[in-house]
């Protein structure tokens, strides 16, 4: 067996109710990870918990809310977190290796490649790369959604077979099982539809459990990259192995897609869009159904400041995101020729390529 698995553990699974690390829990997870390695699996761990581990040690009575306080707590807590993992894995002869990432590391293709090569080497040497967000330098407060998104991005980056997202509920239900005895659990999901998102609940609702919506976002990213996802509970001996083998206590998100090429993974999930292009129904059909390139004739509106070679998002007639692509026009040129025929564009502009976005530099995200 030579599979590669990404395991994500959240803060609530690693820390006590009032802050600080739960050493027994970390020992438990170390034992579960060892059981995977014993089978010949390569394991990458994505962990949260730095802020929760550090805020008591730094002197805060409660979990901080200000960004600079969170960053200070993370600076203390990250060291404590890695020390706890190292101590728990050492009896099994496993070395833990720390990797701290930010969104910029994924947005920049060279930095992403460097992170990938580092993880490859650590796995080759039989170590467990332990990935966390670099909270001490990140600017946004809720950057990766409790590292759910980070785990899916890492799974795509290292071409994992599956990503195991551990949470405090045993999968996705049709309603909150804590308050509705008729709630039914989804065993397997092959497509994340709007209805599936509705079951998870959205902002301002009380339907969702355990931050399930962010976990659906992560599962969707993983599936689009050809990676199977599991969202569920791992709290007894053997649970993690069951999750990997397909009989875990949770919901599986299956994918029939082949892993995207590295460039399209970067384009779809790691790049930073600098503009938005709205298209008409014909262009939407051409992009989604026919697999065609985007031409100026199908464009209805242009937003943002961008240049040739930048990444832009494309929006459909219903206002929803269709996908991303690398644009061949700058924003001023595109505003001028939006809706024009190819012949009209060629008479008015000198452009390297007539396509606004060529199909080879496009990825569908719907």
Full strand arrangement of the beta sheet holding 162-166: 96-101, 128-133, 42-47, 4-9, 162-166, 228-233, 249-253, 188-189
The CA distance from 152 to 99, in Å, is 16
Given a contact cutoff of 8 angstroms between Cβ atoms, the answer to whether 355 and 295 are in contact is: yes
Q: At what angle do helices 212-224 and 148-157 cross, to 10 degrees?
A: 10
Supply 103's token pair: 């969104």
Domains located in the chain, CATH noted: 4-263 (3.40.1160.10), 273-364 (2.30.130.10)
pLDDT, tens digit only, all 366 positions of the chain: 469 999 999 988 998 877 789 999 999 999 999 999 999 999 999 999 898 899 988 888 888 888 889 889 999 999 999 999 999 999 999 999 999 998 888 878 888 889 999 999 999 999 999 999 887 776 554 466 579 999 999 999 999 999 999 998 899 999 888 888 899 999 999 989 889 989 887 433 332 334 888 999 999 999 988 899 999 999 999 999 999 999 999 999 998 766 677 778 788 887 889 999 999 999 999 999 999 999 999 999 999 999 999 999 999 999 999 999 999 999 999 999 999 999 999 999 988 899 999 999 999 987
338: closest CA among 289, 292, 302?
302
Q: How many residues does the chain have?
A: 366
**Which of 81, 56, 87 has the alpha carbon at shortest distance from 133?**
81
Instruction: Report how far Cα 70 is from the mean position of its chain's Cα atoms.
Output: 22
Torsion of CA 234, 239, 242, 248, to 10 degrees: -40
Model-level pTM?
A: 0.81
DSSP state of 287: I
Q: Please choose, from the candidates 46, 96, 26, 41, the residue with its C-alpha nearest in 3D space to the C-alpha of residue 244.
A: 41
């Amino acid at each position: 067996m030579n599979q590669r698995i990404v395991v994500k553990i959240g803060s609530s699974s690693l820390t006590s109710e009032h802050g600080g690390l739960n050493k027994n829990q970390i020992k438990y997870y170390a034992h579960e990870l060892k059981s995977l390695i014993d089978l010949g699996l390569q394991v990458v761990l994505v962990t949260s918990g730095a802020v929760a581990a550090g805020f008591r040690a730094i002197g805060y009575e409660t979990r901080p809310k200000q960004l600079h306080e969170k960053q200070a707590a993370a600076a203390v807590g990250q060291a404590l977190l890695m020390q706890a993992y190292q101590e728990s894995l050492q009896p099994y002869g496993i070395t833990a290796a720390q990797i701290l990432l930010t969104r910029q590391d994924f947005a920049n293709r060279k930095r992403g490649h460097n992170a990938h090569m580092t993880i490859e080497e650590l796995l080759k040497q039989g170590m467990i790369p332990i990935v966390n967000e670099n909270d001490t330098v990140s600017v946004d407060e809720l950057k990766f959604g409790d590292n759910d998104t980070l785990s899916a991005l890492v799974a795509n980056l290292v071409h994992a077979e599956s990503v195991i997202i551990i949470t405090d509920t045993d999968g996705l239900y049709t309603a909150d099982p804590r308050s509705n005895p008729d709630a039914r659990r989804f065993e397997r999901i092959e497509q994340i539809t709007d209805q599936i998102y509705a079951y998870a609940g959205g902002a301002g609702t009380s339907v969702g459990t355990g931050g399930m919506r962010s976990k659906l976002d992560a599962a969707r990213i993983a599936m689009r990259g050809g990676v199977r996802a599991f969202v569920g509970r791992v709290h007894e001996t053997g649970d993690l192995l069951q999750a990997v083998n397909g009989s875990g206590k949770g919901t599986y998100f299956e994918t029939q897609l082949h892993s995207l090429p590295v460039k399209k993974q970067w384009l779809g999930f790691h790049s930073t869009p600098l503009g938005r292009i709205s298209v008409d129904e014909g262009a939407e059909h051409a992009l989604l159904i026919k697999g065609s390139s985007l031409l100026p004739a199908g464009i209805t509106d242009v937003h943002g400041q961008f240049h040739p070679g930048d990444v832009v998002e494309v929006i459909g007639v219903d206002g929803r995101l269709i996908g991303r692509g690398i644009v061949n026009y700058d924003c001023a040129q595109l505003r001028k020729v939006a809706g024009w025929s190819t012949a009209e564009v060629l008479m008015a502009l000198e452009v390297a390529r007539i396509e606004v976005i060529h199909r080879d530099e496009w990825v569908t995200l719907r």
